[in-house]
């Protein structure tokens, strides 16, 4: 399916890329959170693939208000350091406020029929928090970091303790070889989700998958697992 792509300023401040199928019909909307490197071509390639499956995908910058606004970081040590510093300087409340702004934008679009969320790495954690919004009916978190210990931004996030606030469907994907979310962290996360009553979620742990295995640049990329994870996400969003 062909897609069209537009740069927009959501809420007048949040630089975002909107990717949607060509045509006049309406589609489900997906808020897609990036990793710490923001609007890289790697993430946008994934967003295009998702849009081509029949979604209006909105990809906002996660650091839209400071010195990283408008910056797509390189996948190198300097880029990593800058991305981590951007996270460390951003309070959880600021992430939450931006999320509400982007969801409001998606909901108001005439070509959007439902609200879904997904994200990668820190974006997976942000997607988890976006699921607290009752308008979000399905969420897919790809290797979310910091859920087990509240590591998100400038403060300790209360994400896992608020799991019971999630009313929509939830799917979480991990790689078995992810040092940021090792087995004990995954056990802690799943145990907390079950304890909160979220015992109807989907959990995928891909054997051999490293952190950021879906980023199509670098030695960690696994094309087979990437295709499998995207297919599972599209099927999940579609209600199977």
Q: What is the CATH number of the domain that holds 124?
A: 3.40.50.1820
Is position 6 annotated as part of the catalytic site?
no
240: pLDDT strictly greater than 90 = no
Structural domain of residue 102, as residue ranges? 3-237
Catalytic residue among 125, 180, 204, 211: 211
Label the pairing between strands 14-21 and 3-10: antiparallel
Catalytic residue among 178, 180, 204, 222: 178
Number of domains composing the chain? 1
Catalytic residue among 121, 133, 180, 222: 121
Model confidence pLDDT, tens digit, residues 20-45: 999 999 999 999 999 999 999 999 99
74: pLDDT strictly greater than 80 = yes
Q: How far apart are CA 219 and CA 30, in angstroms?
A: 28
Average pLDDT value for residue range 156-171: 98
What contacts 81, CB < 8 A, 6 or more positions away?
none
Is position 178 annotated as part of the catalytic site?
yes
Model confidence pLDDT, tens digit, residues 172-196: 999 999 999 999 999 999 999 999 9
């Amino acid at each position: 399916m062909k897609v069209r792509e537009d740069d927009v300023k959501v809420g007048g401040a949040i630089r975002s890329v909107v990717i949607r199928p060509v045509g006049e019909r309406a589609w489900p909307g997906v808020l897609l959170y990036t990793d710490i490197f923001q609007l890289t071509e790697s993430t946008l390639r994934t967003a295009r693939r998702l849009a081509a499956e029949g979604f209006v995908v909105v990809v906002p910058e996660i650091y839209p208000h400071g010195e990283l606004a408008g910056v797509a970081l390189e996948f190198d040590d300097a880029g990593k350091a800058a991305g981590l510093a951007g996270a460390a300087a951003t309070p959880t409340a600021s992430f939450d406020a931006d999320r509400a702004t982007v969801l409001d934008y998606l909901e108001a679009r005439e070509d959007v029929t439902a609200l879904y969320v997904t994200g990668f790495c820190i974006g997976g954690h942000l997607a988890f928090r976006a699921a607290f919004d009752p308008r979000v009916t399905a969420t897919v978190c790809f290797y979310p970091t910091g859920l087990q210990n509240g590591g998100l931004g400038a403060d300790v996030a209360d994400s896992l303790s608020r799991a019971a606030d999630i009313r929509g469907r939830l799917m979480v994907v991990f790689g078995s070889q992810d040092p940021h979310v090792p087995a004990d962290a995954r056990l802690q996360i799943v145990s907390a989700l079950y304890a909160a009553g979220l015992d109807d979620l989907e959990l995928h742990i891909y054997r051999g998958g490293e952190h950021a295995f879906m980023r199509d640049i670098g030695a960690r990329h696994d094309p087979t697992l990437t295709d499998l994870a995207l297919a599972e996400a599209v099927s999940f969003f579609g209600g199977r």
